[in-house]
Structure 1
């Protein structure tokens, strides 16, 4: 029996993961609080979440990703970042919920329907910093380059965030984006999601529910790929390792737990390093070897 096509396009994934941020906020031991998430997801977001498989894993990973990126944002601001460019911002609400300096400039870029939804739902809320929003399809190369060039001329130290974005692009599209960012001298940091080859191959399986928003980015050597387009990994934060540190271990099926009792020494290290967020910095020599997982 064929499953239902739940995700109509990539924009629906923003509604999907926002549900998990809303759910986390209600926990007594929440790793973060996003009080605006519930307002943004609406009935459509809850419906999507109820129909999706792998919900326990996606919920876990969404919470850990949010926690890791929050920490990166604070650290980069302490290092002098004056502008954050959030490409494919989705329903992220960091400009409202994080303790940010009022002088910080935060620019959200996404499809028109996402930008309009946020402006409608959050119009009465006041962000902690200077917030701008821009409607743009990131695959529109000329619009993207014009935007990067303008922002580069207006800022001194820029951090780029692509949370759950590059996985939906092809390798050629990611390479083009990386080169455009590398071509502007004030784009100093890039926070990007990483999947190991084995987990990426699993994500590439075309499930009926997400066939309208398939994962596409699966280079054989993730770190080598980015080194080749001008970016090196300055820091890597693996979701599995962070989950152990904060007491939020990855949810597993019962039979996986049984298997681990017998092969724990062989799988624990690798299992904790299947996905991560990586802090990239410009590579002075694109041929330099990047840090490996």
Structure 2
């Protein structure tokens, strides 16, 4: 019997979707999550409810920064592959609650690294980074390449994610176990995070509330549908680097969409027009994100399949069903 895969942050948006995919192909998965209240824990429990009882799945309530518990869990179950997605998310929230990011992101990543390096026969650690590590970049030209310098983060969240990448590089050099960091670009879709713009816009549009449009609508994002993200995660997991290797890969749609275009697409999916209030750029935000995914494509054949119109249509259908609106 194959060893189980550990998925951290299993009740999160990306974690639960990745776990569904792994279980569907016959893997065993141990999921951990601390079910914190950064956003409605009921949504996290609902995601988890869709996994519990599935063949090959087990769950532990656990803080990923509890190094002793993570190491014990991996040791007891012979875990040799980890998909580390647990983190304190949110660019703006990192300005208000910086110490939460130090513990969950930096401390949590270190706990996972330590557990992996002590695990006999360890195969591969795949972990979540973020496009925010690139800092700001105006629209136009080519997308962000993994080879570009990532030395000017504009939020503490971005700084913690870059710190995790550097920690992984040091552990790969010192302890020679394979690692892949994935820089996610604006993930969206059913079961998403309520703090994301498309999600909060949907709630406000349906309730007749105005929406705040930061950056006066001049921002753009490389919106990436959740199923495409999972394709990239699982593809990367199946292709570990050479022994001791550590690599960074972008994972995005590679088709940036202007904020106003996203809102117009969402309005069409909802059949309602938003009441819009234009506001200046918020601290920590970046003007545009745009992924060059050529490295991930060469490694795994990664090619996003779901465009923004179809993705938002699926999200709206899920939202209306989940919230009964």
Q: Classify the TM-score, shorter chain.
A: 0.3 to 0.5
Q: Quick check: which one's helix share is greater?
A: 1
* TM-score (normalizing by structure 2): 0.39
